[in-house]
């Protein structure tokens, strides 16, 4: 559902939609009540009242879900996700660890430091040898070492639980 157009009076429209939703909820019209709640949430979003909009749209999605109105639930949840003004940006892709080792890189680095070959590490962790090679290379780059022997010397001190 696109944001309702109310000639610049979206705050008043949001209040009216909320009142209509409450009135329909008192009647045996739960679907219509949910539609009005959605319009109230979208109107609140359009006029910049993010807190009210998120609360209304979350409650609306739960109403649609209780009614098994899957398309409507999906539409409301998509509006919450895609709205940049809701303050909840969607995380895309893998998390970035920056210059820190990822948990998998740390695990592979510890195994490499213990003397296992890439093939042995791959077999132990059920990974491909190429994936292990990538993790070892990333760990060496992030720890600023140039050989596996140096990785062996630096790994116990740099990978301690106290590291950020």
pLDDT tens for the chain, 164 residues long, are 444 566 667 778 888 888 998 899 899 899 999 999 899 888 888 877 777 788 888 888 898 988 888 888 888 888 887 765 444 555 677 777 888 888 899 899 989 988 899 999 999 889 999 999 999 999 999 999 998 888 888 765 555 444 44
* pLDDT given for residue 96 in this prediction: 78
Q: Can you tell me whether residue 33 is helix, strand or coil?
A: helix
* pLDDT given for residue 35 in this prediction: 92
Q: What separation in angstroms does the CA of 120 have from each of 12, 112, 123, 126, 127? A: 67, 9, 5, 10, 10
* pLDDT given for residue 88 in this prediction: 52
* pLDDT given for residue 139 in this prediction: 92
CB 86 within 8 A of CB 44: no
* pLDDT given for residue 47 in this prediction: 78
* pLDDT given for residue 128 in this prediction: 94
Closest CA to 133 of 99, 105, 96, 97: 105
What sign for the dihedral angle of Cα 17, 19, 22, 27?
A: negative
């Amino acid at each position: 559902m696109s944001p309702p157009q109310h000639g610049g009076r979206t705050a008043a429209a949001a209040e009216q939609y909320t009142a209509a939703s409450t009135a329909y909820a008192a009647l045996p019209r739960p679907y219509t009540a949910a539609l009005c709640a959605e319009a109230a949430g979208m109107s609140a979003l359009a006029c910049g009242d993010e807190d009210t909009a998120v609360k209304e749209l979350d409650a609306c999605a739960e109403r649609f879900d209780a009614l098994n109105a899957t398309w409507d639930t999906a539409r409301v949840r998509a509006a919450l996700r895609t709205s940049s003004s809701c303050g909840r940006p969607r995380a895309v892709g893998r998390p970035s660890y920056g210059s820190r080792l990822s948990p998998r890189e740390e695990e592979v680095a510890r195994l490499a430091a213990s003397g296992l070959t890439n093939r042995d590490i791959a077999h132990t962790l059920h990974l491909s040898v190429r994936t292990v090679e990538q993790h070892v290379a990333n760990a060496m780059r992030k720890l600023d070492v140039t050989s596996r022997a140096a990785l062996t010397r630096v790994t116990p001190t740099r990978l301690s639980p106290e590291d950020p």
